[in-house]
Amino acid sequence: MNNNRKSKSGIFLIELCIVIAVFAACAAISLKVLSIADTELSYSVNLSEAKSLSAYIAESYKSGMTLEEIESVISEETENGSLSADITERQGEYNVSYLDIEIVDKDRSYITITCARRNDNG
């Protein structure tokens, strides 16, 4: 008996290639999504730290700390982190001082706020 059946391995190979291509496409999309998620996570962490740092600076300023004292505390707080604080003090009318606070890193600005305090000259 001579069995001359045609092998279906050619069709199986094409199906296997299609499945591998689909898995490769899914893997590529997953890597892109994970990359975006990692970027968003680091932004979220920095934004949270920026919020805490700006609140600390504003409360310190309102409590009466001088600009030099605040800057020395900020330099200790931001020494190991990626964030830095740009602060400037300005005088307003009616014996009010303003502190402009901007929390930044090397790529972007996270928070910009202004706080005020009344200067009591006795």
This prediction has a pTM of: 0.71
Helix or strand or coil: residue 121? coil
**What are the boundaries of each domain within the chain?**
13-118
| Tens-digit pLDDT string for the chain (122 aa) | 555 555 556 678 889 999 999 999 999 999 999 999 999 999 999 999 999 999 999 999 998 888 888 888 888 777 777 888 899 999 988 889 999 999 998 889 999 999 999 887 64
Query: Looking at residue 107, what is its pLDDT?
Result: 86
Residue 70 and residue 61: Cα distance in Å, rounded? 7
Note every long-range contact of 95-98, with CB atoms under 8 Å and residues 24 or more positions apart, other chains counting. Answer: 95/119, 95/120, 95/121
C-alpha count within 13 angstroms, C-beta hemisphere, residue 47: 6
- Name the residue among 58, 76, 80 with its Cα closest to residue 67: 58
Domain 13-118, CATH number (from 3.30.1300, 3.30.70, 2.60.40, 3.40.50): 3.30.1300
